[in-house]
Copies of this chain bind each other. A is one copy, B any other.
Amino acid sequence: MTLDAGSISSPAVTSPPEQGPAPGCFTRGVVVVKLGGAAGIEFDAFAADVADLVRSGVRLVIVHGGSDQTTRLAERLGHPPVFLTSPSGHTSRRTDRETLGIFQMACRGIVNQRLVEHLRRLGVNAVGLSGIDGGLWIGRRKDCLRAVEAGVTRIIRDDYSGTVEHVDTRVLEALMAGGFVPVVSPPALSTDGDPINTDADRAAGATAGALGASALLLLSNVPGVLERYPEESSLIRVASRGEFDRLGRVAQGRMKNKVLAASSAVIAGVRRAVIGDARLDQPVSRALRGEGTVLE
């Protein structure tokens, strides 16, 4: 099984050249953890585990999204969510200007601050950020989205979404040097200075790469990549570089993004990426020990 160089060997996880010191020189040993927001996730268990790890000296950067909260808030505000399917079958949220504002309120105003509040109660000196703050996450806004509807492809030009291409780690470094635990949410910032909806898994992967992190953990409501989804006993336990492409083809739906995030991070120099289960106790510690699908 060879790596298809075109698909994942050019990960956009480098830091911009103006960043100063070499990426990762302050941040070796950091662990980037992305927490999913779907049903079944034991948020209390996650926070307690984070608090234990921080107390024992592990340096963490936490990343999260806010998709569920965005959907709920959009419905309450009478601007219900629309999901687009690309010609390749990828599903994404239609992010018009109004949805972008709702997305920011949900991610930044609700989910991020609840996480920070909860972690602080457990003694973690957490600081919330979005990808805008300090120019942390920069990506190109997709100037043209193709969406398939009833077999017809239409083109959408006013969407506010894109993928993180550069990570300026300075704000994370400043906070970590001060002993704080950064908790980061979308949006990212486009190269034109607009906020953009961005996939938090991919952003977490790019962040881990730019920091030269020792591990990237992507935790959600499945045990990892399943050979025969949804059969949990078919968990793929480990994949080395030569197998990343096959892993991407096996993965279903949103798991494809996680595999792309994890494999890109490993190719960018992160020692190990783990796609793990957030529904268990000690979910971070378990993933750190290699429970889940390990990419290395």
Contacts and interface: CB of A to CB of B under 8 A. Distances in A.
B189 A180 contact: no
A113 interface: yes
Contacts of A189: 117, 120
Nearest to A134: B127
A132 B134 CA distance: 18
Given A76-B77, A109-B109, A171-B180, A127 B133 contact: yes
Contact of A110 (B109, B175, B193): B109
A129 B127 contact: yes
Identical copies in the complex: 2
Given A110-B104, A173-B178, A178-B174, A132 B125 contact: no
Main secondary structure of the interface of A (DSSP, over half): helix
B125 A134 contact: yes
A37 interface: no
A76 to B, nearest CB: 6
A195 B193 CA distance: 30
Contacts of A78: 76
Given A77-B76, A195-B113, A128 B127 contact: no
Interface in A107-127: 107-110, 112-113, 116-117, 120-121, 125-127
B104 A120 contact: no
A101 interface: yes
6 contacts: A109-B109, A116-B132, A117-B195, A127-B171, A128-B129, A174-B178
